[in-house]
Structure 1
Amino acid sequence: MQKSLSQMYAASSTIPLSHLLSYPDMRSICQLQVEQLATQLPSIAVWSVYNDLDRGKSRIVADYRQEQLSSYSEISYLESELWWVDSLPALQLSKLAIAATPYNAYVFPLCQQGSHPEYLLVLSYQPLSVFQQQCVEQSAQLLSHYLALYKEYSRQKAEIQLLEQAVQRCEHQIRNPLALIALYAENLRLSLPTGAGQEQAKVIGETVQKLSSNLKSLVYCGQQAKLQITSCDLRLVLAESIQDLQPWLEQKQLHILYPNTPIILAVDRWQLKQVFDNLLSNAISFSPEGGTISCHWQIFRNEAIFQVRDRGPGVPLEALEQVFAPFYTQRLGGTGLGLAIAKKIILDHRGSLWVDNLLEGGAQFSFTLPC
């Protein structure tokens, strides 16, 4: 489960949240942490190794204090990773036993498992104190959190690319036959006398319209971002979404609570309304009759944080990693595109969108936008 913004920010005040939660730059984050540790510790060398998913190979980011090196043999041995064993405890700092050397080596595996080692390593003459080891662990934990975000972003990026390819192949093959069916269904409806036949032709036409609407959503989900950025009050955008959903809210006797304070950001107004539409529709669908949906926002450092909470059954644990995947849905009659589109819009705005289950029941969808 993703850590809260305050928890992640507290781990290192040197890294802006916008870097942590938007477009990943794993190398820059590793470089920052490595350089910071190299200046804070009596280190000879500090380096981090992670799998560069764009290049398909391991990347090392290092800081060597060459003036303190008496021999490069230990460095070469450590870089060779011949010392690596799968039994090293993940997400925990361990001291390596290196025979016949004056150096002390500490390693922190950054993930539970993987085809290639990913870790943070510190080499020093003197053993690290408890406080110094805690500094290493804190930096390594931040790298571990960010590595998970980096992998999740890459997975989502691959899904979007796959979706784009599918859209390009099938859009024209589907759109033209649908238009033809709609035309013939309307002609048939007009030519038939009032009765069952005319009603069936009408149902065909309405079904085609729904399919065309779903196709439009699919095409949008696969398009590159074309943002029309303007400064707007998102409180008013939310109010507009609530107004559009009012018939459904009245039907289920639901109330939506939100702050009366404005929050003005530079965004694509129409696209952010889609985000609110999709998140509120999801909350309404799973909320019990007579319940309450709560919306909150606040500014934290250089991020605006939005939350939409419902009092429904929550998201099954096995579905937490899939709710934003295209075509995945637990809503009766849902297309599985609403949350995928919302995720894409927030990513296009260099933000992040995720979901948590609340201890008191229900689900909370949260997203960030840069200020």
Structure 2
Amino acid sequence: MVVNISFQKQENRNLPSIISITRYCYLHGKQLTYHDPICCVRIIYHNISLEKNQEIVEFAENKPAFSRQNLAYLRSESWMNDFPHLFEVKGYQLAELPNYYCYVCVIGYKNNKPEYIQVIAKEPLGQNLRNQLEYSAKTLNQYLEIYSENFYQKSKIKLLEHILHKAGHQLRQSLSLIGIYAHNLHLQLSDIHYKRQAKIINENVNKLDSSLTEILSCGQGVRLNIVPQNLKEIVAETVKNFQPIIYRKHLKIHISQTSTILLLDKSQIQQVFDNLIGNAIHFSPDFGNIVISWQIFQQEILIKICDDGPGISSEDMQKIFNPFYSRRDGGTGLGLTIAKKIVLDHSGNLWAENAPQAGAVFSIILPRK
């Protein structure tokens, strides 16, 4: 039996569908126990959300579990007399389990403590199983890094939500007051010059209020109105809203002909497409091409928005989803942050990369159920 663990690429990094780190380690442990002569698999990993090391123990089917005393011996790590190199498969002798063979492959080190996969077998492992153990360790290492990145990113967004919640109402109250006085001045002033200035003040207050609405939408909690939606119709509606600038720049928009029904909050996902397609249009050269495509898998859908613009610099790639970081003149720097938050709220993921030839590619993974 083989456990299928799928990945999507982000340059040299893997982006799996979001599942808990405990579940992910359990799947790897279970997969290893399907191979003879493996009897037991222990995975020690650092759970960033709990800020401590955790353990997964899996026994092969029809193989006896170890006693509490034997498990306590394994957890003591007294048998580990050195610190192996990363991803090195190394054998150890177990004084209290002399009839078993022990192999360890280190996933990483956190706080001077090793994270590792320990395999215990009744016979020595062949080279194929050693390679499988090394592959599992590398895969877990990548997932742990991605899981940590997502955790820190969500923590930053939570902090932003807290700040915005406190400041938002105060800012709105002040803007409303300024807007009222500017409007009253515009109505009462007779001098055309001053009247125009009052009007400009009022118009800019309205612009600030719109920007504040966009900023505060980033700080809203998860309140999704999930209903079945036609993906192609949402994309087509978004593209239609950009028709004037598409026509002005002579752009060609290519949209997948197939469609599918997804459970979404339409208004929020529409905001994601507004931002991503709007960026693609903005950075595309005149007479450029924008391709909006998707691949439908059993459990998820992968959506890609590709342009043939200048692409994303390495500096921008590191900061592109950070709040208040913008590559567009006059941008708030919150569009991509909000888009990513919405996709995460839908249990999906959003990332950026450069196309092989030219241009940028924004990819979205969304669950189909």
TM bucket, shorter chain:
0.7 to 0.9
Q: Is the 8 A contact 1:283 1:293 kept in 2?
A: yes
Rounded Cα–Cα distance in structure 2 between residues aligned with 1:106 and 1:53 = 26
Match of 1:191 among 188, 192, 196: 188
Q: CA RMSD in A?
A: 2.7
Partner of 2:55: 60
Rounded Cα–Cα distance in structure 1 between residues aligned with 2:246 and 2:48 = 44
Following superposition, the deviation at residue 67 of structure 1 comes to 4.1
Rounded Cα–Cα distance in structure 1 between residues aligned with 2:22 and 2:199 = 58
Rounded Cα–Cα distance in structure 2 between residues aligned with 1:99 and 1:48 = 17
Following superposition, the deviation at residue 123 of structure 1 comes to 2.6
Task: Label 1:79 to 1:318 Cα distance change in 2 as closer, same or farther (>3 A).
Answer: farther
Match of 2:170 among 168, 173, 176: 173
Match of 1:359 among 345, 349, 356: 356
Instruction: Establish whether residue 79 from structure 1 lines up as the match of residue 75 from structure 2.
Output: yes
Q: Is the 8 A contact 1:95 1:104 kept in 2?
A: no
Partner of 1:238: 235
Following superposition, the deviation at residue 362 of structure 1 comes to 1.0
Match of 1:222 among 197, 205, 219: 219
Match of 2:20 among 3, 20, 25: 25
Partner of 1:14: 4
Q: Is the 8 A contact 2:161 2:219 kept in 1?
A: yes
Task: Label 1:178 to 1:99 Cα distance change in 2 as closer, same or farther (>3 A).
Answer: same
Following superposition, the deviation at residue 236 of structure 1 comes to 1.3
- 3-state DSSP of counterpart to 1:262: coil
Task: Label 1:196 to 1:117 Cα distance change in 2 as closer, same or farther (>3 A).
Answer: farther
Rounded Cα–Cα distance in structure 2 between residues aligned with 1:322 and 1:104 = 47
Q: Is the 8 A contact 1:24 1:153 kept in 2?
A: no
Percent of residue pairs identical: 38
Task: Label 1:160 to 1:80 Cα distance change in 2 as closer, same or farther (>3 A).
Answer: same
Task: Label 1:71 to 1:250 Cα distance change in 2 as closer, same or farther (>3 A).
Answer: closer
Partner of 2:344: 347
Rounded Cα–Cα distance in structure 1 between residues aligned with 2:276 and 2:283 = 11
Rounded Cα–Cα distance in structure 2 between residues aligned with 1:282 and 1:319 = 14
Rounded Cα–Cα distance in structure 2 between residues aligned with 1:45 and 1:270 = 49
Following superposition, the deviation at residue 154 of structure 1 comes to 0.9
Following superposition, the deviation at residue 99 of structure 1 comes to 8.3
Partner of 2:40: 45
Q: Deviations over 1:98-129 (max 9, x none)?
A: 48766543333334x64343222223343211
Tell which deviates more after alignment, 254-263 or 350-359. 254-263
2:323 is aligned with what amino acid? P
Rounded Cα–Cα distance in structure 1 between residues aligned with 2:281 and 2:77 = 53
Greater relative contact order: 1 or 2 (C-alpha under 8 angstroms, separation 6 or more)?
A: 1
Q: Is the 8 A contact 1:167 1:219 kept in 2?
A: yes
Following superposition, the deviation at residue 77 of structure 1 comes to 6.0
Q: Is the 8 A contact 1:188 1:198 kept in 2?
A: yes
Tell which deviates more after alignment, 359-368 or 190-199. 190-199
- 3-state DSSP of counterpart to 1:228: coil
2:90 is aligned with what amino acid? K
Instruction: Establish whether residue 321 from structure 1 lines up as the match of residue 311 from structure 2.
Output: no
Following superposition, the deviation at residue 339 of structure 1 comes to 0.9
Match of 1:131 among 116, 128, 132: 128
Instruction: Establish whether residue 265 from structure 1 lines up as the match of residue 262 from structure 2.
Output: yes
Q: Is the 8 A contact 1:93 1:106 kept in 2?
A: no
Instruction: Establish whether residue 368 from structure 1 lines up as the match of residue 365 from structure 2.
Output: yes
Task: Label 1:28 to 1:171 Cα distance change in 2 as closer, same or farther (>3 A).
Answer: same
